[in-house]
Amino acid sequence: MAQFDLIVIGSGPGGYIAAIRGAQLGLATAIVEKDPAGLGGTCLRRGCIPAKTWLETAHRYDQMSDLADYGVAGVDVSALRADLAAIVKRKNRIVLKNGKGVEFLMKKNKVTVLKGVGRLLGGGQVEVKGETTETHQAKRIILATGSVPKELPGMETDGVRVVNSDHLMDLTTLPGHLVILGAGAIGVEFASVFARLGSKVTLVELMDRLLPIEDASMGEELAKILAKQHKIDIRVKTKIASIERHEDKVVCHLEGDKPGAVECTHLLVAVGRGPVTAGVGLEATKAVVDRGFVTVDAMMATAEPGLYAIGDIVRTAMLAHVASDEGIVAAEHAAQSLGKDVHPHPINYDRVPSVTYCDPEVGCIGLSEAQARERGHDVQVGSFPFMPLAKANIMGEPHGFVKIVADKTYGEILGIHIIGPKATELVASSLALLGGEYTVDELINTMYPHPTLNEAIPEAARAVYGRALNA
């Protein structure tokens, strides 16, 4: 039985960051991973990174359609086609490279990698079942076992015609007609991927708008653009009541605002993800589990002394960057409890950036307009479109807008919501504007370079007071 100060179970962006931070603080650290493909977790192997390679290909493919307008002659764009086998090959190459990077970081930081399925035995013991079964002792344990795509009764995925996001990223034949159930981040990202690559796409969402957890204006604007530019059939306030499976197609029977029978070659079930906590041994501990999620305090500690939980298995946003920060908090608190001179700080979940890499991109930080009103703020909002900006027109993407949610009494910026070109990058630079450090007036008086997309941000601030300069 090997002895460790810290064992991390799961090597996704929460787990491997936690392991590195623990090792940096002088803890003898091990990380457990069951995936025979290697370290990195869902984000690297089947989630964020593979999906973004598909999105980049779709973006470049779409750009090729109007090369002549940019002065690029001699290209027969009618001959272009999407080579899905090549997309998958490139995706695998990028995943492999990044996976080796995670392995290097483990070696560099002297983190012991334990290959196999990790299970809590109680009393600080962790069983690792791989080629052999071993038991290890740890003073502190961080559970970071992640999540998997949710299944729906009657629409269980088969990996051929009814698929989840894992299956879709290894698809080598372009769907003739892809129906997507669920218009959260995963659903709208793949809708914009396959519509641009040439598939007919129908997007079905039970709620009244796309991206239902974001500011309402984001989903409403996204629906308009996806329908107009990508010819996506969008059906909100609608559900798939049942499906018929055939060898060469799936028939989806829809109920709601836009009912009817829709035949498709593939059905993507994208109704969210569920935590992986069954079978990890939590019943051998005092940790509280609520519908699969582990209950933790501000330092990510569970009710079991010395046991922490982070990432998709706790009730916080299922985002890689959230898991990473939670891993740092947990590792630092574990190290502090073992006598190390470190001072962990809890996460402010009101300032978590949310990004969706569809076309156009969506980036949000802070409170939505509805959330701000629910919390009792006297709300003022201002929006400014990308259309008038020279940079957006140069890029050929003059769509979308920046929206600022502010407190009228104090001028505090409560939220920034962006849909349009490079929104996922713009929202990152907007983070410093929240939390009371900046007011609307101070943002108005901040100079931004020209011509850039960033110019929409101070214009949106001016729009809060109804005095945008370029409107």
Catalytic residues: 450
Task: Please state whether beta strands 112-115 and 162-163 pair in parallel, antiparallel, or not at all (unpaired).
Answer: unpaired
| Interatomic CA distance for residues 191 and 234, integer angstroms | 10
Burial class (CB in 10 A: 0-12, 13-18, 19+), 343: exposed
Alpha helix ranges (H) inside 46-124:
48-63, 84-108
- The Cβ of residue 188 has, within 10 Å, a number of other Cβ atoms equal to 28
| Interatomic CA distance for residues 440 and 183, integer angstroms | 32
- Cα-Cα-Cα-Cα dihedral sign, residues 192, 196, 202, 208: positive
Q: Which residues is 8 bridged to in the sheet?
A: 31, 142
Stated as kind and residue range, the H or E segment containing 22 is helix 15-24
Burial class (CB in 10 A: 0-12, 13-18, 19+), 449: exposed
Q: Which residues is 133 bridged to in the sheet?
A: 129
Taking Cα atoms as reference points, which of 457, 225, 197, 195 lies closest to residue 360?
A: 225
Under 8 Å CB-to-CB from 255, ≥6 apart: which residues? 238, 239, 240, 241
Q: Three-state SS string across 379-432, please?
A: EEEEEEECCCCHHHHHHCCCCCEEEEEEECCCCEEEEEEEEECCHHHHHHHHHH
Task: Please state whether beta strands 307-309 and 133-143 pair in parallel, antiparallel, or not at all (unpaired).
Answer: parallel
| Interatomic CA distance for residues 316 and 273, integer angstroms | 13
Stated as kind and residue range, the H or E segment containing 18 is helix 15-24
Burial class (CB in 10 A: 0-12, 13-18, 19+), 437: exposed
Radius of gyration of the chain (CA): 24
Taking Cα atoms as reference points, which of 337, 287, 344, 284 lies closest to residue 6?
A: 337
- Cα-Cα-Cα-Cα dihedral sign, residues 326, 55, 178, 167: negative
3-state helix, strand, coil in the chain (%, to 5): 35, 25, 40
Task: Please state whether beta strands 238-245 and 250-256 pair in parallel, antiparallel, or not at all (unpaired).
Answer: antiparallel
